[in-house]
């Protein structure tokens, strides 16, 4: 009996499981994890290797690394990616390739020369690009790239070839040539925007594509006997005639047609390509990619935050793609292929499109995922996304509050086999997620609740009680062994956040609103001053909501940009643009200092100069206060716990310290993992790797 017959999958998804050749190698199905970084890179190679290994276990046919710097003249500190500079990097890369091979997946590596996109803050080498121009980074580094002469170009080609040979030795099956996202030198040469050269590498499209052609040919010559050579290229720079246009790119694909073994298509810069659900839907680049497959005999892969198996199938049957490229969906659920194969599509933990995963890379931290708390903890903590540690000696747990922390704790504890009781004060599950997903652009966030709600519905050992706001006496009477308090947080009304650490003076007659008021149905009218000292999504989203409600909005923030932290989710530009388009008045670098009935006093954060804004109400998007009264009361009665049969009470998630939703699902998961286990509070809670000291001392 063949594998297809044994599988329980729906027959309409069979096409996703057909093998396909990529040059000299064969992918076992159409699930293709495109390159994505993770914040770990060369600093945490075993964590990276295990993360990729888990995806191989989850059924992906092709699994790629993040971009790997090929030479110290082009590195992108402070971002932490992989390096393939010399022999010293090989053991780390071998571990990653082996980890991917363990489940019959093909291992790919994305060779990258960032060129005029890396200031070389670590190597201190002079960056190089097609022309002499300032480095194009998120941080406006005060460094320029030198214009590459012919020798520099020959060097770059040599370094790329050497890196390709190393990649083959490390065990990789696919070795990329990369020219997308504004990051790769190939793109810098291809684009009229960044290539003003007058030699054979500039001017005509053929000349601008020369480096790309040479790199493909030379990589093939060096390793093409056993390795596939994919090209990752942008299908449109999204800058109109000023950059690479879709028409131009079609000409490039026609020109080079079968030269690479696979075409991998993305669009625009990283923010365009990895756009959040707030700004782009699933399959957003379809129109830009449609028809490209017909210009080549080679297979093509494309991306689009694909989580629906039906959309995936349509990409293939409509002749748009051969492979379903996924970065974020594979992070949120590394087991998508196996779940579809097993007829378990309903168990897919769908990506919500929030880009918290991107923030790990942008901040030099470690990536995390709102939906998948085990991401990048697969090795550090031995957390598997689909299985839990066995149940410990205790029997039951009471979880108070069914927001993201409480729901994830209940799901994971239920999976461990405990008897779990969930007491929710309201009438539905999800807490803040249910409320926030009603706001403009955040509808997909409800997936945080829906995935967990469905999993809980299948667990006979988990009971949920609605309209069950518990007091301390009731908790003590229940005689349950462990209690997790996940009662969330509420937004403050006094203006305390980053700029003001004590309350802002507020006139008795002033009309103050908080995000909770709006999410709970309050309909403001007239002119609203929205004061954002939170700096993440809430201020911008509520400004949009107020405009929808017919209000006039002035957004005041002490930051120099609207929703400043969303630079890390790649949304900031889109947010500020949208608010300006909606007619929101934006006052940056100002803090609210006094609130009266119809006036708000603001001050410039630099000069201290005060001015006044007219308004009908003031919406404070500042900070939140944990709703931990129950915890405070219970912890004051610790002496009563043993008689009540209570072994532990713990407060988790926003009720402990408010933070984004990813922090809450992580807190819930961690609570569930650690229950009934020995924890050493003096040691790091995770494994880590330390630098190997040189013997040359």
Choice among 36, 37, 347, 654 that is catalytic: 37
Range 316-335, binding ligand SF4 (CB under 6 A) = 328, 331-332
Nearest to 113 by CA among 160, 78, 146: 160
CA-to-CA distance for 274 and 66, rounded, in angstroms? 14
Q: Whole-angstrom Cα distance, residue 27 to residue 174?
A: 11
Residue 108 touching ligand SF4 (CB under 6 A): no
Q: Is the peptide bond before 78 cis (omega within 30 degrees of 0)?
A: yes
**Quick one: 161 or 349, whose CB is closer to ligand SF4?**
349
Calpha distance 187→208 (Å, rounded): 9
Name the minimum Å distance from CB 353 to ligand SF4: 5
The C-alpha atoms of residue 329 and residue 351 are separated, in whole angstroms, by 5
The binder of ligand FMN chosen from 74, 191, 274, 315 (CB under 6 A): 274
* 36 binds ligand SF4 per the rule CB under 6 A: no
Catalytic: 201?
no
Quick one: tokens of 537? 């999504």
Q: Are strands 300-302 and 82-83 parallel, antiparallel or unpaired?
A: unpaired
Q: 92 or 661: whose CB is closer to ligand SF4?
A: 661
Q: How far is CA 77 from the centre of its chain?
A: 19
Q: Is 37 a catalytic residue?
A: yes
Q: Is 181 a catalytic residue?
A: yes
* 436 close to 445: Cβ distance less than 8 angstroms: yes
Compute and round to an integer the Cα radius of gyration of the chain: 27
| Count of beta carbons in the 10 Å neighbourhood of residue 524 | 22
> Pick from ligand SF4, ligand FMN, none: which does 66 bind, CB < 5 to 8 A by kind?
ligand FMN
If one asks whether residue 366 binds ligand SF4 (CB under 6 A), the answer comes out as no
Pairing of strands 133-134, 144-147: antiparallel
Q: Which of residues 515-574 bind ligand SF4 (CB under 6 A)?
A: none
> Any contact of residue 357 with ligand SF4 (CB under 6 A)?
yes
- Quick one: what does residue 326 bind among ligand FMN, ligand SF4, none, with the CB cut-off 5 to 8 Å set by partner type? ligand FMN
| Region binding ligand FMN by CB under 6 A among candidate stretches 5-13, 16-24, 322-330, 561-569 | 322-330
* 273 scored as a contact of ligand FMN (CB under 6 A): yes
Return the one option of ligand FMN, ligand SF4, none that residue 274 interacts with (CB less than 5 to 8 A, by type). ligand FMN
Q: Do residues 584 and 555 make contact, with C-beta atoms less than 8 angstroms apart?
A: yes
Active site residue 273: yes
Reading the block at residue 178, the tokens are 């990369």
Q: DSSP string covering 463-498, please? A: EEESS----HHHHHHT--SEEEE---EEE-SS--SS
- Other CB atoms within 10 A of residue 653 CB: 33
Cβ–Cβ under 8 Å, residues 303 and 327: yes
Q: If binding is defined by CB under 6 A, does position 444 make contact with ligand FMN?
A: no
Q: Which does 37 bind (CB under 5 to 8 A by kind): ligand SF4, ligand FMN, none?
A: ligand FMN
Give the interface segment with ligand SF4, choosing from 64-72, 106-114, 349-357, 614-622 (CB under 6 A): 349-357
Catalytic residue among 181, 188, 482, 511: 181
Considering only residues 48-107, where is the footprint of ligand FMN by CB under 6 A?
66-67
CA distance 211 to 195: 12
Q: Exactly one of 89, 264, 272, 273 is catalytic; which is it?
A: 273
Give the residues lining the site for ligand SF4 (CB under 6 A): 328, 331-332, 351-357, 369-371
Q: Catalogue the active-site residues.
A: 37, 178, 181, 273
Give the residues lining the site for ligand FMN (CB under 6 A): 34-37, 66-67, 110, 180-181, 232, 266, 273-274, 303-305, 326-329, 357-358, 361, 367
């Amino acid at each position: 009996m063949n594998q297809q017959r044994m599988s329980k999958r729906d027959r309409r998804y069979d096409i996703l499981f057909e093998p396909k050749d990529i040059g000299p190698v064969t992918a076992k199905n159409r699930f293709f994890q495109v390159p994505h970084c993770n914040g770990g890179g060369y600093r945490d190679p075993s964590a990276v290797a295990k993360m990729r290994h888990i995806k191989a276990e989850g059924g992906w046919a092709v699994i790629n690394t993040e971009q790997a710097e090929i030479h110290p003249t082009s590195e992108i500190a402070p971002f932490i990616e992989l390096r393939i500079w010399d022999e010293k990097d090989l053991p780390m890369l071998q571990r990653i390739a082996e980890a991917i091979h363990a489940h019959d997946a093909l291992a790919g590596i994305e060779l990258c020369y960032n060129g005029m996109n890396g200031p070389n803050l670590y190597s201190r080498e002079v960056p190089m690009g097609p022309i002499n121009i300032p480095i194009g980074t998120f941080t406006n580094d005060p460094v320029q790239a030198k214009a590459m002469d012919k020798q520099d170009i020959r060097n770059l080609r040599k370094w790329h070839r050497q890196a390709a040979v190393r990649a083959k030795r490390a065990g990789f099956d696919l070795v990329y040539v990369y020219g997308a996202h504004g990051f790769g030198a190939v793109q810098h040469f291809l684009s009229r925007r960044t290539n003003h050269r007058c030699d054979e590498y500039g001017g005509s499209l053929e000349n601008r594509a020369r480096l790309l052609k040479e790199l493909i040919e030379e990589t093939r010559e060096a390793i093409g006997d056993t390795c596939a050579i994919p090209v990752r290229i942008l299908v449109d720079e999204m800058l109109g005639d000023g950059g690479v246009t879709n028409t131009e790119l079609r000409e490039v694909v026609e020109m080079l047609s079968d030269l690479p073994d696979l075409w991998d298509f993305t669009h625009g810069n990283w923010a365009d390509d990895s756009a959040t659900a707030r700004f782009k839907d699933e399959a957003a680049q379809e129109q830009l990619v449609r028809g490209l497959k017909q210009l080549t005999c080679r297979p093509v892969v494309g991306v689009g935050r694909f989580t629906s198996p039906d959309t995936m199938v349509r990409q293939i049957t409509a002749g748009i793609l051969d492979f379903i490229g996924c970065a974020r969906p594979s992070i949120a659920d590394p087991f998508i292929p196996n779940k579809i194969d097993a007829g378990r599509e309903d168990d897919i933990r769908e990506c919500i499109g929030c880009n918290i995963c991107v923030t790990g890379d942008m901040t030099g931290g470690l990536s995390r995922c709102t939906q998948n708390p085990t991401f990048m903890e697969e090795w550090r903590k031995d957390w598997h996304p689909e299985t839990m540690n066995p149940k410990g000696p205790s029997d039951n747990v009471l979880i108070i509050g069914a927001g993201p922390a409480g729901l994830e704790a209940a799901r994971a504890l239920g999976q461990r086999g405990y008897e779990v009781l969930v007491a929710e004060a309201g009438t539905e599950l999800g807490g803040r997620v249910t409320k926030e997903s009603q706001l403009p652009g955040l509808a997909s966030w409800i997936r945080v609740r829906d995935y967990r709600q469905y999993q809980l519905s299948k667990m006979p050992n988990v009971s949920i009680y609605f309209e069950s706001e518990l007091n301390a006496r009731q908790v003590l009477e229940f005689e349950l062994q462990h209690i997790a308090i996940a009662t969330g947080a509420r937004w403050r009304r006094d203006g305390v956040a980053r700029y003001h650490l004590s309350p802002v003076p507020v006139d008795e007659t002033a009309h103050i609103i908080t995000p909770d008021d709006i999410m709970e149905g309050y309909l403001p009218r007239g002119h609203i001053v929205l004061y954002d000292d939170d700096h993440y999504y809430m201020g911008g989203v509520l400004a949009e909501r107020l405009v929808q409600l017919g209000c006039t909005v002035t957004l005041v923030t002490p930051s120099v940009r609207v929703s400043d932290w969303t630079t890390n989710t790649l949304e900031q530009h889109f947010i500020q643009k949208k608010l300006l388009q909606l007619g929101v008045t934006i006052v940056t670098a100002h803090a609210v200092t006094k609130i009266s009935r119809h006036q708000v006093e603001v001050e410039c954060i630099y000069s201290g100069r005060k001015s006044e804004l007219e308004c009908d109400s003031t919406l404070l998007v500042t900070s939140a206060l944990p709703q931990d009264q129950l915890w405070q009361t219970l912890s004051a009665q610790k002496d009563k716990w043993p008689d009540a049969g209570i072994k532990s009470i713990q407060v988790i998630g926003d009720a402990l310290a408010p933070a984004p939703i990813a922090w809450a699902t992580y807190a819930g998961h961690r609570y569930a993992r650690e229950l009934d286990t020995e924890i050493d509070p003096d040691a790091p809670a995770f494994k880590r790797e330390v630098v190997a000291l040189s013997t040359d001392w």
